[in-house]
């Protein structure tokens, strides 16, 4: 049995726990999950909903027996976590995280002792932030970024890939700097834009009456502004250079649109139509990609599901998982 500890029992940590316990139950209870959170109420709720087998009142007790440690705290807390757990981890322990930025996290991971394997991670999934929204299927079909440290062993990387496969997510290896640049554009900038839009209109004297007219367009565009201010502050500060670059690009695009709107209307009409059509086409491609991803999800207990179980079994259990079945043998 492999001991897995999850630090941070919010939406992500709770969902990972539910997914791993479900996989474990289907594979001879191969895992034992321990949970820890500074919030004792979260610990109690995590155990009640079945996200973990046990909880520990102290961080030291939670990590000392862990074969795999998953740090699912806000990214701003991760450096402190690494500082506090280093001398408590056993030889060969594997540490991974779920942070939204990777460059700083991998740098902080150097605080861990040399006998520990660190593999950075980032599951690209989420809906709210509460444990109540935790879902064993949260990561199904989602991309899970993997950024191994240069000292991580091959077996430790395979073990983390096993965790990812157990949640039905899809691993995606990427350089941490590239990761931070990509997510700055598709995740961090959108949050900042949503918050900025709310701040812009709310500061106007007409906001009291204006908000009565706010309908689906405004609500859809600004939904991200409902996210945790503390969490997003930490994300933005740990990825500031990449976010600033995207801000500059967006500012240039907005300034171009402003120039069109204050210039010749005939010219503006053609250029705006081209701009809006291009944006519509690119946005539609995102929908197409997601639809294809859903269509490719395995159903029932077919070969794809067996392959995933075989992969996870080999990674977690050192080859004692079920062997992959030859599709020809089932005919």
Per-residue model confidence (pLDDT) at position 329: 39
User: What is the spatial distance between Cα 319 and Cα 325, in angstroms, rounded to a whole number?
Assistant: 15
CATH classification code of 178-262: 1.10.3660.10
Six-digit token string for 286: 């995102």
Per-residue model confidence (pLDDT) at position 325: 35
Per-residue model confidence (pLDDT) at position 272: 94
**What residue spans define the domains of the chain?**
2-174+297-324, 178-262
Q: CA 228, 231, 232, 236: dihedral to nearest 10 degrees?
A: 170
Q: Which fold has domain 2-174+297-324?
A: Rossmann fold (3.40.50)
Q: For residue 246, what are the CA distances in angstroms to 111, 226, 234, 242, 312?
A: 31, 21, 18, 7, 38
Per-residue model confidence (pLDDT) at position 165: 96
Per-residue model confidence (pLDDT) at position 328: 39
Taking only the tens of pLDDT, the chain with its 331 residues reads: 899 999 999 999 999 999 999 999 999 999 999 999 999 999 999 999 999 999 999 999 999 999 999 999 999 999 999 999 999 999 999 999 999 999 999 999 999 999 999 999 999 986 655 667 789 999 999 999 999 999 999 999 999 999 999 999 999 999 999 999 999 999 999 999 999 999 999 999 999 999 999 999 999 999 999 988 988 999 999 999 999 999 999 999 999 999 999 999 999 999 999 999 999 999 999 877 655 554 444 443 332 333 434 444 444 444 323 333 333 333 3
């Amino acid at each position: 049995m492999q001991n897995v500890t999850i630090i941070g029992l919010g939406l992500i940590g709770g969902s990972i726990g539910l997914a791993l316990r479900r996989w474990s139950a289907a594979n001879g209870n191969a895992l034992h999950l321990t949970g820890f959170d500074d919030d004792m109420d979260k610990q109690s709720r995590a155990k009640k909903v079945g996200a973990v087998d046990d909880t520990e009142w102290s961080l030291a007790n939670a990590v000392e027996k862990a074969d795999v440690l998953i740090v699912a705290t806000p990214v701003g807390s991760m450096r402190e976590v690494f500082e506090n757990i280093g001398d408590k981890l056993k030889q060969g322990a594997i540490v991974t995280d779920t942070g939204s930025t990777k460059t700083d996290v991998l740098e902080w991971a150097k605080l861990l002792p040399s006998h520990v394997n660190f593999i950075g991670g980032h599951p690209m999934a989420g809906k709210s932030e509460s444990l109540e929204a935790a879902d064993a299927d949260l990561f199904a079909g989602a991309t899970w970024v993997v950024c191994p440290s240069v000292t991580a062993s091959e077996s430790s990387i395979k073990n983390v890939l096993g965790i990812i496969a157990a949640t039905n997510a899809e691993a995606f290896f990427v350089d941490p700097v590239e990761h931070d640049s990509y997510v700055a554009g598709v995740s961090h900038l959108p949050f900042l834009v949503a918050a900025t839009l709310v701040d812009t209109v709310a500061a106007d004297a007409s906001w009291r009456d204006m908000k009565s007219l706010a309908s689906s367009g405004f609500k859809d565009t600004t939904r991200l502004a409902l996210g945790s201010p503390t969490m997003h502050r930490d994300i933005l500060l740990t990825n500031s250079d990449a976010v600033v670059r995207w801000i500059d690009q967006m500012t240039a695009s907005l300034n171009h649109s402003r120039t069109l709107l204050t210039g010749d209307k005939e010219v503006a009409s053609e250029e705006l139509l081209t701009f809006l059509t291009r944006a519509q086409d690119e946005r539609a491609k995102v929908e197409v990609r997601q639809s294809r991803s859903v269509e490719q999800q395995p159903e029932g207990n077919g070969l794809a599901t067996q392959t995933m179980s075989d992969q996870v079994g080999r990674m977690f259990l050192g080859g004692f998982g079920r062997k992959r079945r030859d599709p020809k043998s089932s005919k």
